Amino acid sequence: MFGDHVDTDLIIPARYLNVSDEHELAKYCFADVRPDFVKEVRAGDIVVAGVNFGCGSSREHAPWAMKAAGVGAVIAKSFARIFYRNAFNIGLPILESEEAAEAFSEGERISADLDTGEIKTTDKEARVFAKPVPDFMREIIRAGGLVAYIKREGSF
């Protein structure tokens, strides 16, 4: 769980931007705000946040680091537009939900369905919905990102 206005410098500090290997970059994900994040995150974990997630510079390093660290999706009230596009471009699923940040707690196990927008706890006690993700954007995610999608489909 994260609050509002999590900028790209918090996701991946600028001093690590000389790293181009995404798995090496992942080691520094949230290094300044949650030093143990990479040790604690498990493949498929979902990050939930408030408004304007991914604001700041337009670096692709932020969604790369998160995806390579094992983050399976990011759910926020809203995203900075460049982060939103970069996340889809690299194949990191993101969902916009006004209710998720208040409906769930740190450490709670949740699942998210990109097709329906349903977000729920594994015990199904709490359930909210996200804004629908357009079909073509879901196809980009399923392909593993924009480059993989274009290689598979040949074009848009």
Query: Which of 142, 155, 49 is closest to 103 using CA atoms?
Result: 49
Q: Is 132 left (phi over 0), alpha (psi -120 to 50) or beta?
A: beta
Nearest-angstrom CA–CA distance, 77 and 97: 5
93 lies in a domain?
yes
Average pLDDT over residues 47-67: 94
Q: At what angle do helices 81-90 and 146-153 cross, to 10 degrees?
A: 50
- Asked whether residue 2 carries a pLDDT value surpassing 80, the answer given is yes
pLDDT-based confidence at residue 58 (cuts at 50, 70, 90): confident
pTM: 0.94
Average pLDDT over residues 131-141: 93
Give the total number of structural domains in the chain. 1
pLDDT, tens digit (0-9, with 9 covering 90-100), for 87-123: 999 999 999 999 999 999 999 999 999 999 999 998 8
Is residue 104 within 8 A of residue 78, CB to CB? The reply is no
Give the pLDDT of residue 14: 92
Average pLDDT over residues 56-76: 94
Q: How far is CA 55 from CA 63, 74, 83, 138, in A?
A: 12, 14, 7, 22
CATH code of residue 65: 3.20.19.10
Nearest-angstrom CA–CA distance, 4 and 50: 4
125 lies in a domain?
yes
81 lies in a domain?
yes
Residue numbers of the domain that contains 109: 8-153
pLDDT-based confidence at residue 156 (cuts at 50, 70, 90): low
